[in-house]
Amino acid sequence: MPFRPDRPYNDLPTLPPNQDLETKAVLKACITARAALAELKVSGELIPNQSVLINSIPLLEAQASSEIENIVTTTDRMFRFAGDVGHSPDPATKEALRYRTALHQGFQLLKERPVSTTMAIEICRTIKGIDLDIRATPGTALYNEATGKVIYTPPEGRDLLRGKLSNWERYIHEAEDIDPLIRLAVMHYQFEAIHPFTDGNGRTGRVLNLLYLVDKGLLNIPVLYLSRYIIGNKRAYYDHLQRVTTEGAWEDWILYMLAGIRETAEWSNRKIHAIRDLLDDTGARMRRELPKIYSRELAEVIFVNPYCRISDVVSAGIAKRQAAAVYLKALVDADILAEVKSGRENLYINPRLLELLTGNGLNDV
């Protein structure tokens, strides 16, 4: 039957798509995207303390991916509350932080098993903060925000959805004759078209994209800020997804995703180099101006999160609480950190790192 947006798309074709995906234009774009990812993978190794990267770019990704779904917070609030167990952030920030948690969780799960339906369920549960499963009840539909019209009704029936997810899972791991970046684009479309959950599908799918790149050895850690590209090209993102459904326009969709991977890999690479340079400069300044407290470990701990706490220094094994407070106070006096009060707690902000990560001013690399 022909596609109708107001009817469940139970006839969603299984994978692989019934057309040649490796067109000349796609293969050319694939080469440049792979090169940019390879450079990003190398850059990720420039900072020995991987926590510096795992706690920065993925947090930016979490904020942007949530914004795509109209869950709006700021990167400043994300960093402020990322390590705060004593205060409850606003609901939007709390939900966006769960995305970051889901990405970390999935990264750990990759050590045990590849990207799978089971992993998708666990990720979506974390993102939504509820115990959910593949949807079983009918009535799910996607609407045009401007007109209110139904633009897509995903397949219905838990058994049908599980069957399509099994096909999805086999394709992404067994279609070895297709480049993994092309498979990633196909994988993302198909997951969103299956729409296996009542909510959280877009964010779950975007977490899976990053995990798939790690799973296939194209990245060591999930530091590709892909949602940055989608936010900047949001209308095209949804248009291309829709045109695969209505017209079978796979080439345009794959080219869109490859352009996003290339552009954000280049951006993430520049950002990592800027973080490393700032870390090296800060460490050199500490060694020069504060030789009595300097250690590379202390320099790195104030780069793990731009909002540092005394407990962070203690947890890193650098000093006990009283000495840690003295160290951070000395960094404030040297104008390396800035001190602010948050309830009963003092926060020590790394303003140059925060500016670099939030993209304000000249540091928006």
Give residue 237's pLDDT: 94
Mean pLDDT of the chain: 90
Question: What one-character-per-residue DSSP string does 91-103 give?
Answer: HHHHHHHHHHHHH
The residue ranges of every structural domain in the chain are: 24-268, 290-363
CA dist 356 and 363 (Å) reads: 5
- For the CA atoms of the chain, what is the radius of gyration? 22
Give residue 360's pLDDT: 43
Q: Would you say residue 239 has pLDDT above 80? A: yes
Higher pLDDT, 132 or 60: 132
CA dist 219 and 158 (Å) reads: 33
Give residue 195's pLDDT: 96
Helix/strand/coil (H/E/C) assignment for every residue in 215-255: HCCCCCCCCCCHHHHHHHCHHHHHHHHHHHHHHCCHHHHHH
Count Cβ atoms below 10 Å from residue 256 Cβ, excluding itself.
21
Q: Would you say residue 344 has pLDDT above 80? A: no
Helix (H, G, I), strand (E, B) or coil at 260: helix
3-state helix, strand, coil in the chain (%, to 5): 60, 5, 35
Average pLDDT over residues 2-28: 95
Contact 7, 153 (CB under 8 A): yes
Higher pLDDT, 21 or 101: 21
- 127 closest CA partner among 93, 92, 101: 101
The least confident of 59-68, 100-109, 169-178 is 59-68
CA dist 283 and 274 (Å) reads: 14
What would the pLDDT profile of 42-67 be if each residue is shown by its tens digit? 988 877 677 677 777 777 887 888 88
Burial 12-41 (b: 16+ CB within 10 A, else e): beebebeeebeeeebeebbeebbebbeebb
Q: Which long-range contacts link 168-171 to residues 24+ away (Cβ below 8 Å)? A: 168/15, 168/117, 168/194, 169/115, 169/116, 169/117, 170/15, 171/15, 171/16
Higher pLDDT, 281 or 354: 281
Which range is most confident: 63-72, 222-231, 248-257?
Answer: 248-257
Q: Would you say residue 1 has pLDDT above 70? A: no
CA dist 119 and 105 (Å) reads: 9
Give residue 95's pLDDT: 84
Q: Position 19: which residue type?
A: Q
pTM of the predicted structure, to 2 decimals: 0.90
| 290-363 CATH choice from 2.60.120.10, 1.10.10.10, 1.10.357.10, 3.30.565.10 | 1.10.10.10
Thinking of the domain 24-268, which architecture would CATH place it in? Orthogonal Bundle (1.10)
Average pLDDT over residues 350-365: 70
List, in order, residues 6 or more apart from 363 with CB less than 8 Å away: 274, 352, 355, 356
The least confident of 21-25, 148-152, 283-287 is 148-152
Cα separations in angstroms, 311 against 104, 286, 315, 324, 360: 21, 20, 6, 8, 28
The least confident of 26-30, 96-100, 255-259 is 96-100
Average pLDDT over residues 24-50: 91
- Is the fold of 24-268 the same as that of 290-363? no
Structure tokens belonging to residue 250: 């796979």
The least confident of 204-218, 230-244, 270-284, 342-356 is 342-356
Give residue 346's pLDDT: 85
Average pLDDT over residues 281-299: 95
